[in-house]
Structures are given as structure tokens and as C-alpha cells.
Amino acid sequence: MSVIDILVNYYPAFLKGLYVTLQLSAIIWGSGLIVGGALGLVGNRYNLWIGLPSRLMSFLLSGIPILVFLFWLHYPAQAMFNVVIDPFITAAFTLAIVNIFAVADIVRGALADFPKQYLTAAKVTGLTRKQTIFKIQLPLILRQILPALLMLQVTMLHTTLFASLISVEEIFRVAQRINAQIYRPVEIYTALGVFFLAVSLPVNGLALWLKEKFTRNLSEN
């Protein structure tokens, strides 16, 4: 049985698993970009009360493998509080937390490194604070951080594979179940790779294009 045969025969199962994966990714991406972006903005403004705790949390999370964090929230944490939570919710919450603090780090770093001479020039030319943010700061910062944010979201898409280990019926778990039936691991995981390439390559390509076109050292200009 070839890769094409597997895709033709089992595409409904693959599509169902892909749908769960994309649902999971949408939650992770949305919460990461919105909450993480807001946390980065506020953390830069209130460094002592929000910025430092956020950086500390990010530092701690970077030292813990995502799989260990996921398992801890799924097994001992739920046993400790005597609750049973849907694995999908646990996976979405765990990966969203990781994404939120990673996005916050990117945004906060870009704000902290923003050249002060741009703000000074805006003030001299009579721009209001709102005009400075929306006409100068935001466009330039977005140009700097968009490639990194897109690459991070692709990485978070890949980490959704870990959700299969706590029984979330995403695409990797579907592939495992199909492999258990027909045992064609090379063809099945190649088919899985095709699905991920179809989702990841456009985002990767956009990130690389943005990086080449827009990213530069603002302090040199």
C-alpha cells in the first residue's frame, strides 16, 4: 500500500485528526498572540510588577520540557485537586501558556530595543503619543517581530503532536491508530508529513519572506 493509497483510503480519518489539530492550534495561536502580545506590552511598561515576573515565568518554562509540563498538568495536578479535565482542554491550556510567555518575550524585547531617537523625533515633530504608537512604533516593531512570531507559531503547531500522548484525537494519534491496523509506518508517517507540510510550508515561506524583506537593525537607520 503506497502513500497515495493510504491517503485515498484513510483521508476521512486524517481530515478528522487534522481538524482537531487545527482547533488546538487556533486556540494556542489566538491566546498566544493576543494575551502574549498584551503581556509583552504591559510588561514593558510596568517592568517591576509585570515584566520581571513574566520573564521569570518564561525562564522557568524554558527549562521544563513541554512534554513534562503537559504530563504534570494532566496526571499529578488533576489528581492533586481531585478533578478530571478533558485532555483537549489540558493540552490547549498547557501549550497556550508556553506560547503566551514566548510571544510576550518577543514583544517585550522588541519594545525594549526600540531606538529612542525615533520617539524623540516624533516628539519634536509634534506627534501625539497615539500617533507615535500607531504611525511609528507599531509599524516598525511589527516588521521586526512578525517573522519570529510566525516561526514560533509553526513550532507550536508541531508541539500539538504531544497532545496525542494524553489521548487527544489529533492527527498524530489518528496516524498511530491507522498504523496499528495495517502496520505501514513508512507510508503512514510520510502521509502525516504531507499534511504538516501543507499547513507549515506556507507559514514558513511567509516568515522567511518577511524576514528577508523587512527585518533589519533599526539602530543603523
Q: What is the pLDDT along the chain (221 residues), one digit of tens a residue?
A: 777 888 788 888 888 998 999 999 999 999 999 999 999 989 988 888 898 999 999 999 988 999 999 999 999 999 999 999 999 999 999 999 999 999 999 999 888 888 888 888 888 888 887 888 778 888 888 888 888 898 899 899 999 999 999 989 999 999 999 889 888 888 888 888 888 888 788 877 877 777 676 655 544 44
The pTM for the full model equals 0.85
Q: Angle at which helices 3-45 and 171-182 pack, to 10 degrees?
A: 160
Residue with cell 496499528: 180
Nine-digit cell string for 109: 524585547
The CA distance from 54 to 48, in Å, is 10
How many CB atoms are closer than 10 A to CB 85?
13
Burial of 175 (0-12, 13-18, 19+ CB in 10 A): buried
